[in-house]
Amino acid sequence: MTSTSPCPIPPDAPFFIVMNGGSGRHDVNEVQQTIQRTMAEAGRQHTVHVVTDASRLAAAARSAVKQAQARGGVVVAAGGDGTINAMAHATLGSGCAFGVLPQGTFNYFARTHGIPTDTEDAVRLLLSARAHPVQVGQVNDRVFLVNASVGLYPQLLEDREAFKQQYGRSRFIALISGLVTLLRQHRQLRLRIERNDEVRELRTPTLFVGNNLLQLQQIGLSEAQCLDRGMLAALALRPVGTLSMFWLMLRGAFGRLGDAENVHTFAFRRILVKPRWPLGRRRMKVATDGEVMRMRPPLQFGVAVEPLMLLKPDAVEAVA
């Protein structure tokens, strides 16, 4: 189904929905009943597979894609940005259309593409929307729809998940965990970044690559508009102390991070990132859409050759 323009979905196409039972603050049974009721009222064939063990999410995604390919159906992710990432990773290049029922805390991907956070409204959108090509980022063999990063940001995400396990899921808890992370000492990465014929050496606590217009606009990066030109936006912090780090965090909260003195930003289509420490070949922590994994360098960031065919409104207005 890969195309550069919107494609209609056959009115009898079945939906294969994988739902992460641990995403967000929603009642799983209530959400599942809403999905099934709304689909049944429209007379659409569908299956809902609830995954309660995150380690089985990738396998469930692959199974849903195989079923959708066999029956000309649509693959649907019901969960937060991490769940959507796992489902998109399995769907990209399969020829299947992709749908989203946002259930997470931040829902950057869904909000950027005008997909309602109300479950019933999001299901009704699936029933009527066309599939639009959406840019996908990649770091080595992993996709990202919102962002990818190394250094401090993956550590922040790990700390945030630990806080959520103990105190619950909310934006306030995410903020507190971020403050706690910043109070610790930060390891400085020495990175060699190759872009086209240009080579740059950076010493930074974190390298952040964005692929989401709403998030980039919220923190104040002028490079946000580069996404419309098939590019990604990168941000690297220069080495700073704890107080300066807090100041940068506040600037980001008020949408003014991009013009800070201690921030280096640039747009690109493809870069190669190599660590310069003595054990430069050991695996690095890399975060993609909120999920942390280890990858062996060098790390190649770029735009995927194929887009993801996403069911979304024809006239999109990002939800703030």
Q: What is the CATH number of the domain that holds 20?
A: 3.40.50.10330
> Is residue 6 in some structural domain?
no
**Model confidence over 146-159: pLDDT tens digits?**
999 998 877 677 66
pLDDT at 36: 97
> Is residue 7 in some structural domain?
no
Find the domain containing 293 and state its range.
142-303
Give the pair of three-digit tokens for residue 58.
Answer: 């990738």
Max Cα-Cα span within the chain: 61
pLDDT at 54 over 70: yes
Query: CB–CB of 299/280 below 8 Å?
Result: no
pLDDT at 8 over 80: yes
Looking at residue 115, its amino acid is I
pLDDT at 4 over 80: no
> Is residue 75 in some structural domain?
yes
Same domain for 148 and 116?
no
Per-residue confidence at 194, pLDDT binned at 50, 70, 90?
Answer: very high
Same domain for 177 and 225?
yes
Same domain for 127 and 147?
no
> Is residue 8 in some structural domain?
no
Please state the pTM of the whole predicted model.
Answer: 0.86
Same domain for 159 and 299?
yes
**Model confidence over 120-130: pLDDT tens digits?**
999 999 999 99
Same domain for 114 and 239?
no
pLDDT at 11: 95
pLDDT at 258: 64
pLDDT at 312 over 70: yes
Rounded distance, CA 85 to CA 54, Å? 13
Query: CB–CB of 57/20 below 8 Å?
Result: yes
3-state SS of 100-120? Answer: EEECCCCCHHHHHCCCCCCHH
Q: How many domains does the chain have?
A: 2
Over residues 231-259, the mean pLDDT reads: 67
Over residues 276-298, the mean pLDDT reads: 83
4: part of which helix (H) or strand (E)?
none
Q: Is 232 helix (H, G, I), strand (E, B) or coil?
A: strand
Same domain for 97 and 156?
no
Residues 6+ apart with CB under 8 A from 129: 9, 99, 311, 312, 313, 314
